[in-house]
Amino acid sequence: MDKNILFKLFRYWKNSSAIFLFSIIGLSSFRCSQESDRTLELNLLVRIGDRIITVDDFIHRSEYTIRPPYCRNNTYIHKKIILNSLVAEKLFALEEGDSNALVSNADFIDYVQGRKEQAMRKIHYYEESYKQIELSEKEIAEETERSLRRYSISYFSIKEEKLAEIIRHKLFKENVSFSDIYYQLAGDTLIPSREVKWDKPEREEIYNSLFHGMPKINEIIGPVSISDEQFIFMRVNGWIDSKILTEAQFNDRSKIVSERLTEQKAWSDYQSIVGKIMQEKRLEFNHATFKRVYELTAPLYIKLEEEKKNFINNSIWEMAQSDSQFIDFPKQLDDLNSAPFFVVDNKAWTVADFRKLMKRHPLVFRKELSGKSTLREQFRFAIVDMIRDYYITQDAYEKEYDLCPAVIQEKTIWEDNLLSLYHKFNFISEKNTTNSSQTEIDEDYLTPYVENLFVKYDAEIEINIKKFEEIKFSNIDMMAFQTDQPFPVVVPSFPLLTNKNRLDYGKILNANKK
């Protein structure tokens, strides 16, 4: 089998979709508990043999990726096309089965396992930390009051810790004014200013300094560390306190505040949990091997970063590439496979071990790469973070989070998506489509084939019509990413298999059926 089959599948994905808008989203929480099977059952929308589509699956596949024009709106007809497309994807996967070259391909196996383990780490976070958080009414009330304030600040940032300390001394010891400091730094009297809102994305350090510090007007805050070697100084120009007028507004606000507080506390607690997992585990690089691996891979990551910057103006292939991390490493790296790369927890890792893990956990850089000087440090940090996640994953396996329904469903979604693409690719490749347009291919080959599959699997398809009709979703084009994850794309591309707008197959799902 062609070792680059996944590469070809993602290229096929490229020819099937286009990007118009994207959005970055954060870490989502999964559940794994005794009642999770029942929760999944109650959320069930379609059952096709041993495959399922949940209400959440339907919404996420509709909202977190770009839908084609023929089903982009929130109308009942378009909803039916979306449902039929998702069902058709499952049918293609079932037709392809598990006895083919793709499922035995090492890259496919690693990719799907990587997706599964990423879901396991989310479960780990939820079960070990998030669900353990309990908030008092006093905490929620106090935070709700703080959340109504909007701060107006002037600010400037510094990239060197030593310089930040010098400025701190001038501001607080020598009483040099904020404006004079900025003029000395920038040669300008117009200091940058902006509004900071509680409910807008903000760095935690800035948020805590303002909303928990409760500063006075004209108070100067800083230096506040906002990233490696980057510090911000702020002057509070004033604030506006909003008012809650109705009970409904108060309840809505309290719910939002409660969710945010829970996330903040959970993340803080989770750092301690991870700290215990990593306790006494020290990573030591073989400097000679690190230098050689870095020299061989740095140009590739710089190139990849440049491609990502042009993402909006390019096709979905750039998104697929960034998700799957198909980096064509130079052959010289193969010569280093047996070389010792690093030691952690008394275990020696070779370059081959590192590359194997990278297929399941592509490197995630903590900040944007701006050149080789930045990349060397970020490359080291990314490896450290990958090893940290490796041990979190091992802890998740020990706790059997790989058996959670949410993890199994996440793995199946990506597995079926690739199997479906593979089946579609093979099906069309067998036809004489040299001089055919995409429309002709769809009408002459794909549409009748899909219709035949609906007939073939009619007895195995069950649909919860009541839940289907209750589904509401937006018609805003959006491509969703979670940029702090090894696989940032949230859901697979929309399956371009059919524009069928009738539900004339299957039977009504009995929601109480086990």
Residues with Cβ within 8 Å of 320's Cβ and at least 6 positions away in sequence, in order, are 10, 13, 14, 489, 493
Same domain, 168 and 119: no
The arithmetic mean of pLDDT across residues 134-162, rounded, is 93
pLDDT digits (tens, 9 = 90+) for 93-145: 999 999 999 999 999 999 999 999 999 999 999 999 999 999 999 999 999 99
Q: How confident is the model at residue 21 (pLDDT cuts 50, 70, 90)?
A: very low
Q: Does residue 312 lie within any of the structural domains? A: yes
Q: Which of 506, 494, 510 is nearest to 81 (CA)?
A: 494
pLDDT digits (tens, 9 = 90+) for 391-425: 999 999 999 999 999 999 999 999 999 999 999 99
| The pLDDT of residue 215 is above 90 | yes
| The pLDDT of residue 25 is above 60 | no
The arithmetic mean of pLDDT across residues 430-449, rounded, is 90
Show the tokens assigned to 372. 């080789």
Domain count, the chain: 2
| The pLDDT of residue 3 is above 70 | no
Q: Does residue 137 lie within any of the structural domains? A: no
Contact 354, 383 (CB under 8 A): yes
pLDDT at 329: 78
Same domain, 442 and 500: yes
Q: Does residue 6 lie within any of the structural domains? A: yes
The arithmetic mean of pLDDT across residues 211-218, rounded, is 92
| The pLDDT of residue 32 is above 80 | no
Contact 343, 387 (CB under 8 A): no
Domain that holds residue 226: 149-241
Q: Distance between the two ends of the chain, CA-based, in angstroms? A: 40
Same domain, 330 and 475: yes
- The CATH number covering residue 225 comes to 3.10.50
Q: Does residue 95 lie within any of the structural domains? A: yes
Q: What percent of the chain has pLDDT over 70?
A: 85
* Chain center to CA of 360: 15
- Residue 220's CB is within 10 A of a number of other CB atoms, namely 16
Contact 489, 481 (CB under 8 A): yes
Query: How many residues belong to the chain?
Result: 514
pLDDT digits (tens, 9 = 90+) for 303-318: 777 766 565 444 443 4
